[in-house]
A = this chain, B = another copy of it.
Amino acid sequence: MQADYSLGELAVRFGLELRGDPALRVSHVATLSSAGEGSVSFLANSRLRKHLGASRATVVVVDPRDVDACPAAALIGSNPHAAFARIATLLYPLPAEPPGIHPSAVIAADSRIAASASVGPFCVVEAGAELGERVRLGAGCSVLTGVRIGADTHLMPRVTLYPRVRIGARCLLHTGAVIGADGFGFAPDAGTWVKVPQVGGVRIGDDVEIGANTTVDRGAIEDTVIENGVKLDNQIQVGHNVVIGAHTAIAACTGISGSTIIGKRCMIGGMVGFAGHLTIADDVSVTGCSLVSASIRQAGSYSSGMPTVESRAWRRMVAHLRRFGEKER
């Protein structure tokens, strides 16, 4: 059900230079190697330029440096990946969702749901919750007491928002995301644990994406905060009172322990573990599977972890490491 656009329209709309016939039309995206007629592809990395020559795409979005290697029409801009993303967004519009509340949904009398919002089957919207304009809830979402959701935010099926969670505008939350469950707070007491009520909230900014089965705990006393434009992949764990700075992107399976503060525009790899109460500067990159056990004060790229090698070689490595662990000889 894709739309269909001429190259001329795309060039004008996205401020790209066109080399080729403006009347050619495209309806779908493709990789360079699988592209056929009517498709738009892109080349974001000049090292892959060799794939350009054989491509049968109708048009390729390219950087000016790569245009000469392009056998098809070219849409030329300084950021081909972002331009391609915008074209794809145009070609694949979200299916329209008629506003309204499915008759099976259970809606508290004193909740406030914009008339333009859409609430799917088997949703629960509790007392005092507010859903802004054009908010969409997929099937089986639970929006508990006092939650607020900003305009144009979409929840896929089975997202749960615990009481008093605040979510900004234009966010996308994927299935299984759980926002605002209790942080892990227990006081030791004579060999057992006393639960510390988790009475803070969660504040999520605008334009945030949260992946499937990701969990963001509510604060112990004050709030857990996810700033504007943050992108969280699947199965990430965000502990209580964590702050994630604007436009930081975090790959899947990463865990962030309580009260750690991550800066703006960071890029965090997958399966990274952050200890608690750390401060990570703006513009920090951390490669996948790193263990971040101390604060990082300077922008830059950081790593840890051992390389995978044949198991026999690994056993020798481990034997060496164990020796380093022995007391000074």
Binding site for B on A (CB under 8 A): 28-31, 34, 44, 79, 81-82, 84-86, 88-89, 91-92, 95, 102, 104, 106, 120-122, 124, 138-140, 142, 144-145, 156-158, 160, 162, 172, 174-176, 178, 181-182, 184-189, 191-197, 199, 207, 209, 211-213, 215, 217, 221-222, 229, 231, 233-235, 237, 239, 247, 249, 251-253, 255, 257, 265, 270-271, 273, 275, 285-294, 296, 300-311, 313-322, 324-328
Q: How far is the CA of A82 from the CA of B138 in the complex (A)?
A: 40
Q: Which residues of B contact A174 (CB under 8 A)?
A: 178, 181-182
Q: How far is the CA of A187 from the CA of B175 in the complex (A)?
A: 23
> Of residues A28, A120, A182, which shows the largest number of chain B Cβ atoms within 10 Å of its Cβ?
A182
Given contacts A160-B158, A307-B318, contact A325 B313 (CB under 8 A): yes
Contact partners of A296 in chain B: CB under 8 A:
308
Q: Is the CB of B255 within 8 A of A235?
A: yes
Contacts of A290 in B (CB 8 A): 308
Residues of chain B within 8 A (CB-CB) of A316 are 324-328
A31 and B240 CA atoms in complex are apart in Å by 14
In the complex, the 9 A-B pairs of residues with the closest C-beta atoms, listed nearest first: A313-B325, A303-B314, A81-B187, A320-B324, A82-B187, A82-B189, A301-B311, A178-B212, A181-B212
Q: Which of A138, A252, A301, A325 has the most CB of B within 10 A?
A: A325
Give the shortest distance, in Å, between A194 (CB) and chain B (any CB): 4
Chain B residue contacts of A233, Cβ below 8 A:
184, 237
Question: Measured between alpha carbons, how far is A71 from B249 in the docked complex, in Å?
Answer: 43
In the assembly, what is the distance between CA of A122 and CA of B239, in Å?
29
Measured between beta carbons, the chain B residues less than 8 angstroms from A320 are 324
